[in-house]
Chain A
Amino acid sequence: MLAISLKSLLAHKVRFLLTAVAIVLGVSLVAGTFIFTDTIDAQFDDLFEDIYSGIDVSVRADVGDFRAETEPFPGDVLDIVLAVEGVEIAEGGVTSLATGVLDKEGDPIGGRGPPTLGFSWAEVPSLTPMRIKEGAGRAPTGSQDIVLDANTVANAGFALGDTVTVVGLSGPEQFELVGIASFGDQDSLLGATIVLFDLEKARELFGYGDEYTGISVQAEAGVTAEELTERISLVLPAGVEAVTGETERNEQVAEINEALSFLSIGLLSFAGVSVFVGAFIIQNTFRIVVAQRIRELALLRAIGATGRQIRSMVIIEALVVGIVGSVLGVGFGFAMAFAIRGMMNAAGMGIPLGALVLLPRAVIAAMLVGMILTLLSSLLPARQASRISPVAAMREEAARTPRRSLHTRALAGSVITGLGVLLIGLGLFVDIGRSIAYVGAGAAIAFMGISVLAPLAASPLADFIGWPLPRLFGISGQLARENTKRQPRRTASTASALMVGVALVVFFAVFGSSTKASINETIFELFPADLTFSSTSQTDPELRAPISPAFAERLGVYDELSVVSAMQFGRVVIEGETQIIGAFDPETIEQVIVLDAIGDAVAAVAARDSVIVSASFLEESGWAVGDTVTAEFAHTGEVALTIVGTYEHGDFGKLFLSSDTYLANFRYMGDSFVFVNAADGVSVLAAQDAISPTVETFGNIKAQTKSEIVEDAEGQIDQALALFTGLLLFAVMIAVLGITNTLTLSIYERTREIGLLRAVGMVRRQVRRMIRWEAVIIATFGAMLGVGIGIILGWAVVRALADEGFGAFRVPVGQVILALVLAAFSGVLAAVWPARKASRMNILDAISNE
C-alpha cells in the first residue's frame, strides 16, 4: 500500500503540492512563534549569563514578593559583607528606572520602546559585564560625567565630549559624555538605554542616600557560592538578604519568561486561527482529491483491495504530505519569525534584532501540529474513499458520492452552531471564569457549524453576488456563477476558510472602534482636567515613568494655573496579591478627575493609613467600608489600611491612598500624572504657552489636552488593531490560498469542459475571466459571511463588557466595506495561477476520449 501511495503522490504532483502548501502555511506560524520567542529567550539567557557570570553572591533588600532592583539598603552593609570570610571581593552599586535621557533635539530617547536603566559604574570588572569600548573614552569619575551604551550613542548620534541632558528626580541636568560602554562584546542590552554615572552622582540623581540597591560578591577560590551565601546571610541585618548569583539570574529569567509567555500565548492564539483555517483548506483539498480519484480507487477495489486498504492508503498519503508540509513549514517559520519581529517592532515594541534560534521544541510543535492537522483532515475523506464501491469504476457518472440530505445538514449545522453560540454566551454573560477560553472555543465551534450550513446558502448567495456578471461579461460571467453553484459543498468549504479570517478581522475592527467610542465618552465625561502631563520615557509600563517631583513643584508658581494635582502609583501586596495602588491629593483631585466617590470618600482618605476602593473591586474582594486590610509595602513592610470609602469609577485605579500616606510608605520616585486646570479667564492654550518653558526643560514630559488624550488612546488602539490584523492576515492568506487550491483542483476536473469551450471559440482571456470571477464569487461569499459574523460577535462582546464602561457599539462602516472589497479582490489574486493554467490547457486533452 505504501508503494502505491507514494506512486500516486508522485503522479499527482500538483495536488500534492497544493495540499502541502496549505499545511506549510498553517504550520509556519506555529513554528514562527516558537522561533521568535525562543530567540528572545536565548538572547536574554545569554545576556544574564554574561551579567552574572562573575557574581557568586548577590546582596539586596529583602522585599518579599516585590522586584528588588531599586529598593535601597544601608551602605554599611558592604563593610559587613567584606568582613565575611571567603569573600574575595565585593562592590555595591545603585540602579534606577527613574531617569530619562534626552537626545540632541531635547526629545526623550526610547519612547514607548525598551526602558531606560540607570546604573552606578562598577569598578571591579569581574563583577560587571560593562566595559568601556576600546578607544571610546573612560569610566565616569566626576559629577559631570556620563557613560552611555554604544547602541544608544550610535542611534542618537552622540560623540564623546557631547553634552547630554538627563532628567532625574530633581529635574533636568547636563552631563558630558566621557565614555561609550558595551556589555561584554555586545553593543546593546536588548535595545535598552543604559546610563552610567559614578556612584556618588548616581546616588544623588536616583534619590538614594548612603545606600546601595545591590552588592555583588565574588568568592575566594575553593569557596562555593552556596557556602558563601549562607555565611553572608548569617551576618546581614534585617531587611537585607543574600542569594547566589545563579538564583538571581534564574529569578530574572523567570520574570522575563513570564512576560514572554504572555506574548507567545497571544501569538499562538493567532497561529491557532491559521491552523484552524488551514484545516478547512486541507480537508477540502483531500475531499476533492478523493472525489477526483473515485474511478482509480474503485478500480483498486475491483481488483481486490479492501476498503480498509483504501482507507489506509489515503491516510498514508496524507501523512506523507503532512511530513513534507510540516518540515517545509518549520523552514518557512523562520520567515514568519522575521515577519512577527518586524510587525512587533513596527508596533513600537523594540525587540532586538539578531540571528534566529531554532530549538527542538519549535520543530516538535510544528511537526505535531502539522501531522495531527493532516491526519484529522484526512480521516473523513479517507472513510469516504473506503466506501467507494468497486462498481464505481465502471460507471461513467461515478463522481457522485452520496450527499447528506438538506434536512440533516440544516439540522446538524444548526445544532453545532447553536452549541458554539451557547459557549460564547456562557463565556460572555455568565461568570464562570476562563471566559476567553469559552468564547474562543465557542467561536471555533460556531464557525464549524456555519461552515456546515454554508452549502445551503451557497447557491442563492452565489446567484445574488454574481447577478451582474452575465450582463457584464456574457457567457464567461454566467459560467463563473454557474460553476460556483455546481458544487455548493466545495464552494462553501472554501469560502468558510476566508469567512473565519474576515470574521476575526471585522470583529477586532468593531471591537476597536467601539472601544474608541467608549473611551471618547469616558474621557470627556470623567476628565475635567484641562491638561494632563505624563512621562514619555518608558520604565515600568504598569506604573508609568515617574515625572520628576520637581515638575509639579515648578508648575505651582504659575498664576495661569488654578490647580496642579499629581497622582502617584506603586505596587503593594494585599492578601497575597500584588496590586497597583494610586495616590492623590484629596483636596484637589476632584477638580481634575471624576471618581464618582460615594459620600465623602475622597475627603475621608486624607486620614493617614486609610484607603478607598473602587465599588467593583470592593465587591470582588468581599470587603466592606470600615474593614481593615493589611498591606505590605516594599519600603515599610506591613501596614494596616482602613477602608474609608468607595467610588464608582474605577478607570483610574481600583485602590487609592492620599499622597501623604503614599509618601510615608513608598520611596517617592516622582509622579505618574500631573493634572492642571487653567485659571479663570485664562484659556487652556494661553496656560499651555505660559508653562511651556518649564515643560520643555524637562523634555521627557508631554502635555495633553482632553482631545489629545483621546487621540493618544485611539492611536494605541489602532496600533494594537494593526498588529492583530497583521497577524490575522496569515490566516486570510491561507484562506486565499485555499481558493487557489480549490480552483486548481476544479480545473483539473473540468479539463474537458474548458477544452470544449476553447474548441468552440472561447479565447484565453475569456477563460481567465471565467475562473477569476468564480474566485471572486467564492471570496465574496466567504467575506460576506465573515462580515456578518464579525459584527455579531463584536456586538455580543461589547454588550458583555457594558459593565466595564463599554457604553458604545460602533461598526466602522468604511473599514468593513474595505475588508469586504479587499477580500473580494483577494479572489482575483487567488485566481491568477489557476486562471493562467486553465487558459493554457491543451484543447486536445479535453476532446480525446481518455
Chain B
Amino acid sequence: MGAGGMLSETEGGSVTGDVAVRYAARLENGVKTYGEGDTAIHALNGATAEFERGRFTAIMGPSGSGKSTLLHCIAGLDTLTSGIAYIGEIDLSTLKDRDLTLLRRERIGFIFQSYNLIPSLSAEENILLPLSIGGKQPDEDWYGTILDTVGLRPRLTHRPSELSGGEQQRVAAARALVSQPEIIFADEPSGNLDSKASAELLGFMRHAVDEFGQTIVMVTHDPGTAAYADRIIFLEDGRIVDEMYDPTADSVLDRLKSLGG
C-alpha cells in the first residue's frame, strides 16, 4: 500500500488502532471559518463524520452548505479552523506541508469536476502521475486490472485534448486508483458529463468499491449519482443533518424534498 513509510515518518495516531482500522477517514467537530467578526462565514460548523473502509459514501447538500470544504479539509488540501481530521490514524493538523503532500501522494486519490489532467502528458502518463512523482513503478498486475476496468487501453498515448470529457474523467479515476490509496475523494466527478459518460464513470467507481474494496467519498448534487453510493450524508450550513443507507434515486429525492421543506 505504499503508506508504510508515512507511519514512521509522521507522528499521527492519537487514536486507538481499532477506529483507524474501521474508518479510512474521520472528521471530529470540524469548523472552518472564513473571514472574521460579523462577516465571518462558517463553511463548516461543527461537522462530525466517519468514512468506513470499503464503502462508497456520497455527500449531498444545498449549494454553499460546505460540501467541498469538508472534502478539502479531510483530504489534506485545506486546514480546519478547529476540530480534527484523520486519514486512518493520522491527525492531519500535525503534519507539515511536505508530509501532508506525501500523505496525499501515497494514501489519497482525487477526482475533480474539471481540469483533472495535465495537458502536456499523455493519458498513460497522467494515470501514472502519482507514482512518477514519487519515483515509483506501477504494480503491473494492478495497473493492468485498472486499464481493463476503465477500458482505456487504446487511448493511452493520447493527450487529454484528444480525449472526450468522459474519457478524461476515466483517466482521472484510473489515476486515483493506481497508487492503491486508502481513500479516494471526488468532488462532483460527473458534473460536466452527459448521462452516458456519467454512468460509465460511476459504474467504474462502484466496481472499484465492490471488487477492490476501495473507499470512496464523493460530493454530488444529483440524486441519480448519489444512488451509486452505499451511504449518503446530508450537509446543511456546515453541519451533518442527516444520513441514509443504500439509497436509490427516488429515495434520495424524497429525502432532499423533506430536508428542503
Residues in A lying within 8 Å of B, measured CB to CB: 474-475, 478-479, 482-483, 485-486, 752-753, 756-764, 766, 843-844, 846-849
Instruction: State whether B105 touches A761 (Cβ < 8 A).
Output: yes
Does B113 count as interface, using CB distance less than 8 angstroms? yes
Tell me which residues across on chain B come within 8 A of A759, comparing CB atoms: 77, 104, 110, 112
- Please give the distance in Å from B110's CB to the nearest CB on chain A: 5
Does B148 count as interface, using CB distance less than 8 angstroms? no
What 1/0 mask marks residues of chain B from 117 to 142 whose CB sits below 8 Å from any chain A CB?
A: 11111000100011011110000000
- Please give the distance in Å from A485's CB to the nearest CB on chain B: 8
Given contacts A761-B106, A762-B133, A847-B115, list 15 more A-B pairs with CB under 8 A.
Answer: A474-B133, A485-B120, A756-B112, A756-B115, A756-B118, A757-B129, A757-B133, A758-B101, A760-B109, A760-B110, A760-B133, A761-B102, A761-B134, A847-B77, A848-B68
Known contacts A761-B105, A764-B97: does B120 contact A475 (CB below 8 Å)? no
Tell me which residues across on chain B come within 8 A of A474, comparing CB atoms: 132-133, 135
Q: CA separation between A848 and B112, bound complex, in Å?
A: 9
Q: Which 6 A-B pairs have the closest CB atoms?
A: A761-B105, A482-B120, A475-B132, A763-B101, A752-B115, A760-B130
Does B78 count as interface, using CB distance less than 8 angstroms? yes
- Please give the distance in Å from A769's CB to the nearest CB on chain B: 11
Instruction: State whether A761 touches B104 (Cβ < 8 A).
Output: yes
Tell me which residues across on chain A come within 8 A of B93, comparing CB atoms: none
Does B175 count as interface, using CB distance less than 8 angstroms? yes
Does B255 count as interface, using CB distance less than 8 angstroms? no
Q: CA separation between A625 and B68, bound complex, in Å?
A: 97
Look across to chain A and name the residue whose beta carbon is closest to the beta carbon of B77. Answer: A843
Q: CA separation between A479 and B125, bound complex, in Å?
A: 11
Instruction: State whether A483 touches B120 (Cβ < 8 A).
Output: yes
CB within 8 A of B104: which of A479, A760, A766, A844? A760
Known contacts A761-B104, A763-B101, A763-B102: does B116 contact A756 (CB below 8 Å)? yes
Does B72 count as interface, using CB distance less than 8 angstroms? yes
Does B98 count as interface, using CB distance less than 8 angstroms? yes
Q: CA separation between A486 and B105, bound complex, in Å?
A: 26
Tell me which residues across on chain A come within 8 A of B109, comparing CB atoms: 760
Does B182 count as interface, using CB distance less than 8 angstroms? no
Does B82 count as interface, using CB distance less than 8 angstroms? no
Q: CA separation between A848 and B119, bound complex, in Å?
A: 18
Tell me which residues across on chain B come within 8 A of A848, comparing CB atoms: 68
Does B149 count as interface, using CB distance less than 8 angstroms? no
Q: CA separation between A569 and B109, bound complex, in Å?
A: 86
Look across to chain A and name the residue whose beta carbon is closest to the beta carbon of B192. Answer: A849
- Please give the distance in Å from B69's CB to the nearest CB on chain A: 9
- Please give the distance in Å from A841's CB to the nearest CB on chain B: 12
Q: CA separation between A316 and B165, bound complex, in Å?
A: 40
Instruction: State whether B101 touches A762 (Cβ < 8 A).
Output: yes
Those of B67-125 within 8 Å (CB) of chain A: 68, 72, 77-78, 97-98, 101-102, 104-106, 109-110, 112-121, 125
Name 21 interchain pairs, CB-CB below 8 A, sorted by A: A474-B132, A475-B129, A478-B125, A479-B118, A485-B120, A753-B115, A753-B118, A756-B115, A756-B116, A759-B77, A759-B104, A760-B105, A760-B110, A760-B129, A761-B101, A761-B105, A763-B97, A763-B98, A764-B101, A844-B77, A846-B115
Tell me which residues across on chain A come within 8 A of B187, comparing CB atoms: 847
Instruction: State whether A766 touches B77 (Cβ < 8 A).
Output: no
Residues in B lying within 8 Å of A, measured CB to CB: 68, 72, 77-78, 97-98, 101-102, 104-106, 109-110, 112-121, 125, 129-130, 132-135, 175, 187
Tell me which residues across on chain B come within 8 A of A478, comparing CB atoms: 121, 125, 132
Look across to chain A and name the residue whose beta carbon is closest to the beta carbon of B113. Answer: A849
Q: CA separation between A486 and B119, bound complex, in Å?
A: 9
Tell me which residues across on chain A come within 8 A of B77, comparing CB atoms: 759, 843-844, 847
CB within 8 A of A849: which of B114, B120, B130, B133? B114
- Please give the distance in Å from B134's CB to the nearest CB on chain A: 7
Q: CA separation between A758 and B78, bound complex, in Å?
A: 12
Tell me which residues across on chain B come within 8 A of A752, comparing CB atoms: 115
Known contacts A761-B102, A761-B104: does B121 contact A479 (CB below 8 Å)? yes
Q: CA separation between A763 and B135, bound complex, in Å?
A: 12
- Please give the distance in Å from B2's CB to the nearest CB on chain A: 11
Q: CA separation between A485 and B116, bound complex, in Å?
A: 21
Tell me which residues across on chain A come within 8 A of B105, comparing CB atoms: 760-762
- Please give the distance in Å from A466's CB to the nearest CB on chain B: 12
Known contacts A760-B105, A762-B101: does B120 contact A479 (CB below 8 Å)? yes
Instruction: State whether A753 touches B133 (Cβ < 8 A).
Output: no
The secondary-structure label for the interface of chain A is helix
- Please give the distance in Å from B41's CB to the nearest CB on chain A: 15
Q: CA separation between A752 and B187, bound complex, in Å?
A: 15
CB within 8 A of B120: which of A486, A762, A763, A843? A486
- Please give the distance in Å from B163's CB to the nearest CB on chain A: 13
Look across to chain A and name the residue whose beta carbon is closest to the beta carbon of B188. Answer: A849
Instruction: State whether A761 touches B118 (Cβ < 8 A).
Output: no
Instruction: State whether B112 touches A847 (Cβ < 8 A).
Output: yes
Q: CA separation between A478 and B128, bound complex, in Å?
A: 13
Look across to chain A and name the residue whose beta carbon is closest to the beta carbon of B114. Answer: A849
Look across to chain B and name the residue whose beta carbon is closest to the beta carbon of A396. Answer: B114
Tell me which residues across on chain A come within 8 A of B117, comparing CB atoms: 756
Known contacts A474-B135, A479-B120, A849-B113: does B175 contact A844 (CB below 8 Å)? no
Q: CA separation between A827 and B195, bound complex, in Å?
A: 48
Look across to chain A and name the residue whose beta carbon is closest to the beta carbon of B72. Answer: A844
- Please give the distance in Å from A742's CB to the nearest CB on chain B: 16
- Please give the distance in Å from B105's CB to the nearest CB on chain A: 2
Q: CA separation between A763 and B77, bound complex, in Å?
A: 13
Q: CA separation between A520 and B7, bound complex, in Å?
A: 71
Q: CA separation between A756 and B129, bound complex, in Å?
A: 10
Tell me which residues across on chain B come within 8 A of A844, comparing CB atoms: 72, 77-78
- Please give the distance in Å from B219's CB to the nearest CB on chain A: 12
Q: CA separation between A486 and B161, bound complex, in Å?
A: 13
Look across to chain A and name the residue whose beta carbon is closest to the beta carbon of B161. Answer: A397
Look across to chain B and name the residue whose beta carbon is closest to the beta carbon of A760. Answer: B130
- Please give the distance in Å from A99's CB to the nearest CB on chain B: 72
- Please give the distance in Å from B118's CB to the nearest CB on chain A: 6
Q: CA separation between A758 and B97, bound complex, in Å?
A: 10
Tell me which residues across on chain A come within 8 A of B110, comparing CB atoms: 759-760, 847
Q: CA separation between A843 and B98, bound complex, in Å?
A: 13
- Please give the distance in Å from A533's CB to the nearest CB on chain B: 68
- Please give the distance in Å from B83's CB to the nearest CB on chain A: 18
Q: CA separation between A580 and B187, bound complex, in Å?
A: 86
- Please give the distance in Å from B153's CB to the nearest CB on chain A: 22
Instruction: State whether B119 touches A753 (Cβ < 8 A).
Output: yes
Q: CA separation between A474 and B125, bound complex, in Å?
A: 12
- Please give the distance in Å from A275's CB to the nearest CB on chain B: 34
Look across to chain A and name the residue whose beta carbon is closest to the beta carbon of B75. Answer: A759
Look across to chain B and name the residue whose beta carbon is closest to the beta carbon of A758. Answer: B101
Q: CA separation between A716 and B113, bound complex, in Å?
A: 67
Q: CA separation between A11 and B125, bound complex, in Å?
A: 37
- Please give the distance in Å from B137's CB to the nearest CB on chain A: 11
Q: Which of B105, B109, B113, B175 has the most CB of A within 10 A?
A: B105
Q: CA separation between A486 and B160, bound complex, in Å?
A: 13
Q: Which of A475, A479, A757, A848 has the most CB of B within 10 A?
A: A475
Tell me which residues across on chain B come within 8 A of A753, comparing CB atoms: 115, 118-119
- Please give the distance in Å from B168's CB to the nearest CB on chain A: 12
Instruction: State whether A757 touches B118 (Cβ < 8 A).
Output: yes
CB within 8 A of B130: which of A483, A485, A761, A766? A761
Look across to chain A and name the residue whose beta carbon is closest to the beta carbon of B187. Answer: A847
Q: CA separation between A849 and B72, bound complex, in Å?
A: 13
- Please give the distance in Å from B252's CB to the nearest CB on chain A: 23
Q: CA separation between A688 and B34, bound complex, in Å?
A: 87
Q: CA separation between A762 and B132, bound complex, in Å?
A: 10
Q: CA separation between A85 and B192, bound complex, in Å?
A: 105
Q: CA separation between A478 and B133, bound complex, in Å?
A: 11
Tell me which residues across on chain B come within 8 A of A482, comparing CB atoms: 120-121
- Please give the distance in Å from A675's CB to the nearest CB on chain B: 69
Tell me which residues across on chain A come within 8 A of B115, comparing CB atoms: 752-753, 756, 846-847
Q: CA separation between A482 and B125, bound complex, in Å?
A: 12
Q: CA separation between A764 and B104, bound complex, in Å?
A: 13
